[in-house]
Amino acid sequence: MWTIILPQAVRLVIGPNVNQAIGMRDLLTQAQQIYAANFLVMELLFVASIWYLGITTVASVGQHSLEKHFASKVSGA
């Protein structure tokens, strides 16, 4: 189980879990709460989009390396 099933399962589970961890809704909710107080709507949405771009870029690179690592274990290379 540890050498056959688990590496295959981890490889398939990595993608959906990384996508779930990136919460755009949480980021936008925080931006809405801030711009409700100071009325800087466009500026805060721009900052939130830059943060989201940075977070997704880092998460995508990490996800790619994890998938590559587990794919090499499954293929036996």
Residues 6+ apart with CB under 8 A from 48: 27, 28, 30, 31
Q: How confident is the model at residue 75 (pLDDT cuts 50, 70, 90)?
A: low
Q: With respect to residue 32, please indicate whether it lies within any of the assigned structural domains.
A: yes
Q: With respect to residue 57, please indicate whether it lies within any of the assigned structural domains.
A: yes
Q: With respect to residue 8, please indicate whether it lies within any of the assigned structural domains.
A: no
Residues 6+ apart with CB under 8 A from 56: 22
Q: With respect to residue 76, please indicate whether it lies within any of the assigned structural domains.
A: no
Give the tens place of pLDDT for each residue, 3-25: 667 767 776 777 666 666 666 77
How high is the pLDDT of residue 40? 93
Q: With respect to residue 15, please indicate whether it lies within any of the assigned structural domains.
A: no
How many other CB atoms are found less than 10 A from the CB of residue 5?
9
pTM across the whole model: 0.66
Give the tens place of pLDDT for each residue, 30-74: 899 999 999 999 999 999 999 988 988 888 888 888 888 877 766
Domain span including residue 56: 25-70
Where do we find the tokens 């943060």?
51
Q: With respect to residue 54, please indicate whether it lies within any of the assigned structural domains.
A: yes
* Domains identified in the chain, total number: 1
Q: Longest Cα pair distance anywhere in the chain, in angstroms?
A: 57
Q: With respect to residue 1, please indicate whether it lies within any of the assigned structural domains.
A: no
